[in-house]
């Protein structure tokens, strides 16, 4: 991944400062830092000739302190930062005003004897070189800090803009900004500065973006408009607008925000999705509203009127609706037969616990969505535990490209990484198909992924009667590869394979044909003990997830499964990347995404069968890299 001047890579360029307690003066050649400590309630940091950053020491288990760059403006906003109390887990950068002669930073709720005051540093650079063994090779991740939902996905002038929920001040959730990366091909991403920062209205929660081609909002033809939720205890959850005139690099917030508030004072009212409804020459906004989606319309993108709602009592129960999206797609490629797919991310409510993505197919008449299925029917877009907040790019023409967040709210804050947390799953192209007189949504990896293939190992066809070993999968695969298989079921009842390493850590992927299931088992995949710290949501204290999953040990150590049709032949694509396994069956008709944390890459395979043999007709392994 490329970086730009926003975040210069450096090694050892830090201007270290010796800090003691009380009123303390700290000197570099040009810069001076003074701590004015007023008990445990307030510390004022005075800086003359500021460097670009203060480097703040973080302890993940410490309580949050409030850190404010004091410019004297009404827009000054506290950031909640876990400053080190007794140990330093890592550093984050806190930007200082460029070209200023002085700067003042106020820190509340940090004891004067905390370790952070000894470790705080000034620097003109911040080292973002990767330090994590589990950072993916070819999946999008933040340079550092926390990331969750993809936001504001939009394509313009040859660039895919991926905005995302981002905390630049730690690798746990907090201080929601819209982070920003761009790509020309969906696989090589360039990190840019955060696009929309937390402000006095609150955190910048999820939302969507459009290209205003006809200057409807009045900010210029071709402006990018971002619709997002501002969230705070004081203001609740309200929908806001920002606009960009420089191809999405920077945004100006609409001076009359918010543009939409819940008329009934609803607490959970967020994640606006805006799209064009051509038959009526208008714009539609969908907002997640507790356990339903609410639909609004507008002619000018600023004034919104309520139309209808959908979802109460539909799909998995209990649940909380979040991050909506809705797209019109051809069924089975027939452009004369179209349906709408309403994507609804739910948390909690996943079949295996925590967060997941369900969808509904039906019709939309410009005012209301009518579902084809009965309320008790649940359709999942992915059958793993680590696929959530799936939303689609706007302005991509005939293509419908979705990007999921690859984690689960049950344990996302405690996975075994520190420099960063979370990645996006592979971008997926969506389409509708029919099966048994029902319409389903498929999700296939975008074809651009094939450009990552660096080395191919073609394995001749073979028959698996009991087991079949491949002792060397790919030399120097770095835990990043693709497996493409075509399988004939034969007489086997159980057929599959293990990916494993020399330490015996493994992931099992297999077909249970009598039960018509495709299974991925990560109970022995490597580091799994952190799953014991997972805490189910208060409305998910039932044991359903323990019985619907397989080999349940805790909310991480388990196996997930997808229902499949019993067929003679199967095509299976498997993508492994350091800390994840994604499988796609028959071109994306079934998808399953799960995190893994092996102590070393899986470099060996063992195929196995029970109840008869099966045939591997075609098997290609590809090393993947940027």
604: domain CATH number is 2.60.120.560
Question: Does residue 539 sit in helix, strand or coil?
Answer: helix
Q: How far is CA 116 from CA 70, 89, 119, in A?
A: 20, 11, 5
Structure tokens, 506 = 């493994």
Residue 426 lies in a domain: yes
Q: Which residues of 19-40 are buried (b: 16+ CB within 10 A; e: fewer)?
A: beeeebebebeebbbebebeee
Residues 6+ apart with CB under 8 A from 460: none
Residue 435 lies in a domain: yes
Residue 110 lies in a domain: yes
Q: Is 43 a residue whose pLDDT tops 60?
A: yes
Instruction: Judge whether 611 and 489 are in contact, CB under 8 Å.
Output: no
pLDDT given at position 22: 38
pLDDT given at position 8: 43
Residue 86 lies in a domain: yes
Q: Is 7 a residue whose pLDDT tops 70?
A: no
Residues 6+ apart with CB under 8 A from 397: none
CA dist., res. 500 & res. 466, Å (int) = 18
Instruction: Judge whether 522 and 553 are in contact, CB under 8 Å.
Output: no
Q: Which residues of 600-625 are buried (b: 16+ CB within 10 A; e: fewer)?
A: ebbbbbbbbbeeeebbbeebebbbbe
Per-residue pLDDT reduced to its tens digit, 46-58 = 999 999 999 999 9
CA dist., res. 527 & res. 533, Å (int) = 13
Task: Clarify whether residues 103 and 184 are in a common domain.
Answer: no
pLDDT given at position 21: 33
Q: Give 16-24 contacts, CB < 8 A, sequence gap 24+.
A: 16/121, 17/120, 17/121, 17/122, 19/117, 19/118, 19/119, 19/120, 20/118, 21/112, 21/113, 21/117, 22/112, 24/117
pLDDT band at residue 541, thresholds of 50, 70 and 90?
Answer: low
Among 445, 465, 492, the domain boundary falls at 445
Task: Clarify whether residues 480 and 565 are in a common domain.
Answer: yes
Q: Is 535 a residue whose pLDDT tops 90?
A: no
Task: Clarify whether residues 400 and 474 are in a common domain.
Answer: no
Q: What count of other Cβ atoms lies within 10 Å of the Cβ of residue 471?
A: 8
Task: Clarify whether residues 545 and 603 are in a common domain.
Answer: yes
Q: How far apart are the first and last CA of the chain?
A: 8
Question: Does residue 53 sit in helix, strand or coil?
Answer: strand
Task: Clarify whether residues 281 and 326 are in a common domain.
Answer: yes
Per-residue pLDDT reduced to its tens digit, 185-232 = 999 999 999 999 999 999 999 999 999 999 999 999 999 999 999 999
**Rounded average pLDDT over 466-473:** 94
Residue 49 lies in a domain: yes
Residue 239 or 5, more confident: 239
Where in the sequence is the domain holding 296, given as residue range(s)? 145-445
Residue 133 lies in a domain: no
Among 91, 123, 155, the domain boundary falls at 123
Task: Clarify whether residues 551 and 609 are in a common domain.
Answer: yes
Q: How far is CA 333 from CA 300, 393, 432, 434, 492, in A?
A: 33, 20, 8, 10, 34
Task: Clarify whether residues 482 and 439 are in a common domain.
Answer: no
> Minimal CA–CA distance to 225: which of 237, 214, 241?
241
Per-residue pLDDT reduced to its tens digit, 274-292 = 999 999 999 999 999 999 9
Residue 108 lies in a domain: yes
CA dist., res. 176 & res. 182, Å (int) = 19
Task: Clarify whether residues 413 and 470 are in a common domain.
Answer: no
Number of structural domains (the chain) is: 3
pLDDT given at position 1: 52
Q: Tell me, what CATH number does 297's domain have? A: 2.115.10.20
**Rounded average pLDDT over 79-98:** 97
Residues 6+ apart with CB under 8 A from 97: 50, 69, 71, 103
Residues 6+ apart with CB under 8 A from 331: 337, 338, 339, 432, 433, 434, 439
pLDDT given at position 130: 94
**Rounded average pLDDT over 67-88:** 97
The 8-class DSSP code of residue 40 comes to T
Residue 129 lies in a domain: no
Task: Clarify whether residues 440 and 456 are in a common domain.
Answer: no
Average pLDDT, rounded, for the chain = 94
Task: Clarify whether residues 279 and 411 are in a common domain.
Answer: yes
Instruction: Judge whether 440 and 589 are in contact, CB under 8 Å.
Output: yes
For the sheet with 42-48, list strands across it. 24-27, 32-38, 42-48, 102-108, 65-69, 79-81
Q: Is 44 a residue whose pLDDT tops 60?
A: yes
Give the residue numbers marked as catalytic: 149
Task: Clarify whether residues 415 and 463 are in a common domain.
Answer: no
Residue 211 sits at φ, ψ, to 5 deg, of: -100, 120
Strands (E), 501-540: 506-512, 517-521
Task: Clarify whether residues 419 and 465 are in a common domain.
Answer: no
Among 394, 424, 445, the domain boundary falls at 445
The 8-class DSSP code of residue 280 comes to G
pLDDT given at position 29: 54
**Rounded average pLDDT over 471-494:** 94
Q: Tell me, what CATH number does 12's domain have? A: 2.60.40
pLDDT band at residue 514, thresholds of 50, 70 and 90?
Answer: very high
């Amino acid at each position: 991944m490329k970086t730009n001047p926003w975040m210069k890579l450096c090694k050892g360029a830090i201007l270290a400062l010796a800090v003691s307690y009380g009123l303390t003066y700290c000197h570099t050649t040009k810069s001076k830092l003074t701590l004015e400590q007023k008990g445990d309630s307030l510390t004022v940091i005075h800086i003359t000739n500021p460097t670009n950053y203060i480097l703040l020491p973080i302890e993940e288990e410490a309580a949050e302190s409030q850190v404010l760059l004091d410019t004297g403006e009404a827009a000054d906003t506290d950031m909640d930062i876990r400053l080190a109390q007794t140990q330093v887990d890592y550093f984050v950068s806190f930007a200082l005003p460029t070209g200023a002669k002085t700067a003042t930073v106020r820190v509340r709720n940090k004891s004067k004897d905390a370790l952070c005051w000894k470790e705080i540093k000034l620097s003109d650079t911040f080292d973002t070189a990767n330090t994590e063994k589990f950072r993916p090779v070819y999946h999008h991740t933040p340079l550092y800090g926390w990331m969750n939902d993809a936001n504001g996905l939009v394509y313009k002038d040859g660039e895919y803009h991926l905005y995302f929920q981002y905390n630049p001040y730690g690798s746990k959730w907090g201080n929601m900004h819209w982070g920003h990366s761009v790509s020309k091909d969906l696989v090589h991403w360039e990190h840019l500065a955060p696009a929309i920062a937390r402000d006095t209205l609150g955190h910048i929660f999820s939302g969507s973006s459009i290209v205003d081609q006809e200057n409807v909002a009045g900010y210029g033809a071709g402006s990018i408009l971002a619709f997002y939720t501002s969230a705070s205890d004081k203001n609740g959850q309200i929908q806001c607008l920002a606009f960009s005139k420089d191809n999405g690099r920077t945004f100006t917030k609409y001076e009359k925000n918010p543009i939409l508030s819940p008329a009934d004072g609803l607490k959970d009212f967020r994640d606006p999705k805006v799209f064009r409804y051509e038959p009526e020459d208008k714009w539609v906004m969908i907002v997640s509203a507790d356990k339903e989606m609410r639909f609004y319309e507008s002619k000018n993108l600023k004034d919104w009127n309520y139309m209808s709602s959908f979802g109460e009592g539909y799909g998995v129960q209990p649940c909380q609706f979040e991050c909506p999206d809705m797209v019109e797609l051809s069924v089975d490629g027939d452009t004369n037969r179209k349906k709408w797919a309403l994507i609804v991310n739910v948390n909690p409510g996943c079949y295996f616990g925590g967060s997941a993505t369900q969808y509904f197919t039906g019709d939309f008449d410009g005012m209301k969505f009518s579902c084809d299925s009965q309320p008790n029917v649940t359709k999942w877009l992915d059958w793993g535990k680590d696929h959530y907040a799936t939303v689609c790019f706007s302005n991509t023409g005939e293509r419908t490209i979705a990007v999921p967040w690859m984690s689960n709210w049950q344990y996302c804050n405690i996975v075994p990484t520190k420099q960063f947390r979370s990645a996006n799953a592979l971008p997926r192209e969506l389409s509708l198909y029919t099966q048994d007189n029902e319409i389903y949504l498929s999700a296939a990896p975008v074809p651009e992924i094939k450009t990552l293939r660096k080395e191919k190992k073609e394995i001749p066809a073979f028959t698996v009667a009991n087991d079949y070993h491949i002792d060397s999968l790919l030399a120097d695969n770095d835990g990043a590869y693709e497996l493409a298989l075509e399988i004939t079921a034969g007489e086997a009842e159980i057929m599959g394979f293990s990916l494993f390493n020399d330490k015996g850590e493994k992931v099992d992927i297999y077909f249970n044909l009598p039960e018509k299931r495709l299974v991925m088992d990560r109970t022995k995949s490597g580091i799994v003990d952190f799953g014991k710290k997972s805490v189910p949501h208060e409305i998910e204290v039932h044991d359903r997830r323990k019985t619907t999953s397989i080999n349940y040990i805790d909310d991480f150590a388990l196996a997930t499964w997808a229902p499949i049709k019993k067929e003679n032949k199967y095509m299976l694509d498997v993508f492994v990347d350091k800390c994840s396994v994604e499988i796609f069956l028959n071109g994306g008709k079934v998808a399953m995404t799960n995190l893994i944390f092996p102590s070393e890459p899986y470099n060996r395979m063992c195929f196995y069968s029970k109840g008869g043999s099966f045939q591997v007709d075609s098997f290609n392994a590809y090393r993947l890299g940027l």
